Structure 1
Amino acid sequence: MTSDYRSLNRANWDERAPAHAASASYALDRYVADPRHLSDVVRFDQPRLGDIAGQRTAHLQCHIGTDTLSLHRLGARVTGLDFSAASLEQARRLVERAGGEVNFVEADVYDAPDVLGRGAFDLVYTGIGALCWLPDIRRWAEVVGALLRPGGRLFIREGHPMLWAIDETREDKLLVAEYPYFERPEPLVWTDGGTYVETDATFRHTVTHEWNHGLGEIVTALFAAGLDLTMLVEHDSAPWDALPGRSVEDANGEWRLADRPWRLPQTYTLQARKRG
């Protein structure tokens, strides 16, 4: 495993954070204009998330804070954590403009228990596209277990590891498992001059290191870290166009395969509780 994955990935996120904040995809002005507006990711899972009013919540890998602010708007007492200073700058600016009260902390996710407090949280939340940046899912599960009080809950919606294994660039539109499904010691090394939102920005930091983690590996890691699974729902959709040229968007901003969407899980929602 390359030892500098943090610095490579952090440079990538630092450079892209302003472009994300300025993009139509994130539409930050909507959060400022409408105090009831929620991110697509949080709104999608609101029925499963339930009443979180007053809950001490840690949002890990919070990026520019749209999900974090949304959790706050549902009544949670939220702390967002991210290793990208530029992302947190945008997150703080958004919350200030929108009139919210959210605390943001700059730190690596593996250091979260030391900087946020052990056993300090009722809820740990993480959203789409977070786990692929972490080389060791067992260490992540231990972080979650350390942050939660007994009886506290983990809530995650994430890209399905089967989706991450698919080659999305094939012009023949076949669903081909090209990349690892299971966690591997070696990262997938990507070189990409763009980003996942439309932007005219030009980027210099183009290399990232990523890892996949099988669904069984994630569940087993959580169990070993003292959490018991209480929900696992696989979805045939994602809140972005994960397979361009093969997907259609519904009225709620979710994308699924135009041809037999039941062939592929694209995301999942997982909940687990820390044992007493």
Structure 2
Amino acid sequence: MTDYLDVNRANWDDRAAAHFASPGYPVSKLAADPSHLSEVVRFDLPLLGSLTNQRGIHLQCHIGTDTVSLARLGADMTGLDFSGKSLEEARRVAELAGAGVRFIQSDVYAAAEVAGSGYDFVYTGVGALIWLPDVARWARTVAALLRPGGRLFIREGHPMLWTLDEEAPGTDLVVKYPYFERSEPLTFTTGGTYVETEVEFAHNTTHEWNHGLGEIITAVLDAGMTVTGLVEHQSVPWEALPGRMREVGDGEWQLIDNPDRLPHTYTLQAIRNTAS
């Protein structure tokens, strides 16, 4: 696919302003309360540890609410995204929140070229890897961004979650989509978005890829990093399977019926080897 970036960028550009205005993003809370953190980052806190005086980069940062939250934890943050419209809103979020965050527009794979290297940590949030066709190339990019001993922190939708048919009737979980990375993307044309809004969008087509957990871990290892943690979670920060999930607090959702049968998300941590 040579056009996936243009197609996906148009989709995200179209939704950026609506996301900024939606109550589904904590823009007003970040502006009103200098101690407020996004629900996503609050979930990450037990595993994140201290970020004080650390230099971090948030890949695929979208409108920057998580980036600003990381900055509030004491990190010197850079946010990177390929959507110019998203970064316009991210800069507004940072200004309203009084956060000194640097934002850079770039494709993820060019991140080290445009944002430099030597970062103490790379952060990636839920719903990021599915937009990338090559997870091994992504891992090499992460390693290039990090200083020796620097840390990767990613919480992401579990690849089993991405295989499921959202429209399957009843409570059965129906595997419909590939678990493993394929060269050709899954192409969807769907209106709307994942947060509350009344805006209608013009660009509704996306190209997406799944990556198996083994593929992701292997990519990280092959890129010269050592895995230091892998935790699978029983919740996800949006209603991923509409009608079959209940909100369990702090913006997290879980299967209503027997949630133990599905890993909803995972957190992966790794450090760049000093010899890599």
Q: Same fold (TM over 0.5)?
A: yes
Give 1:121's aligned residue.
119
1:112-151 deviations in Å (ceiling 9; x for gaps): 0101113x20000000100000000000000000000000
- The separation in 1 between residues aligned to 2:205 and 2:142, in whole angstroms, is 28
- The separation in 2 between residues aligned to 1:215 and 1:128, in whole angstroms, is 14
Q: Is residue 79–residue 104 contact of structure 2 (8 Å, CA) maintained in 1?
A: yes
| TM superposition shift of 1:253 | 2.2
Give 1:214's aligned residue.
212
Give 1:152's aligned residue.
150
| TM superposition shift of 1:166 | 0.6
Local SS of the residue matching 2:249: coil
The aligned runs of 1:73-88 (5 Å cut-off) are: 73-88=72-87
Q: TM-score, normalised by structure 2?
A: 0.98
Q: Percent identity?
A: 63
The number of residue pairs the alignment matches comes to 274
Local SS of the residue matching 1:11: helix
Give 4+ residue runs of structure 1 displaced > 3 Å after superposition: none
Give 1:111's aligned residue.
110
1:27-69 deviations in Å (ceiling 9; x for gaps): 3100000111111111001010000111110100000001100
Give 2:236's aligned residue.
238
5+ residue gaps, structure 2, are: none
- The separation in 2 between residues aligned to 1:198 and 1:237, in whole angstroms, is 20
Local SS of the residue matching 2:172: coil
- The separation in 2 between residues aligned to 1:68 and 1:111, in whole angstroms, is 19
- The separation in 2 between residues aligned to 1:252 and 1:93, in whole angstroms, is 24
Give 2:38's aligned residue.
39
| TM superposition shift of 1:250 | 1.3
- The separation in 1 between residues aligned to 2:36 and 2:248, in whole angstroms, is 19
Give 2:94's aligned residue.
95
Give 1:57's aligned residue.
56
- The separation in 2 between residues aligned to 1:27 and 1:223, in whole angstroms, is 35
Q: Is residue 26–residue 38 contact of structure 2 (8 Å, CA) maintained in 1?
A: no
Local SS of the residue matching 1:271: strand
| TM superposition shift of 1:248 | 1.1
Local SS of the residue matching 1:176: coil
Q: TM-score, normalised by structure 1?
A: 0.98
The aligned runs of 1:154-233 (5 Å cut-off) are: 154-233=152-231
Local SS of the residue matching 2:88: helix
Local SS of the residue matching 1:20: helix
RMSD: 0.7
Local SS of the residue matching 1:238: coil
- The separation in 2 between residues aligned to 1:39 and 1:27, in whole angstroms, is 6
| TM superposition shift of 1:251 | 2.5
The one-letter amino acid paired with 1:84 is S
1:207-227 deviations in Å (ceiling 9; x for gaps): 100000000000000000000
- The separation in 1 between residues aligned to 2:266 and 2:124, in whole angstroms, is 12
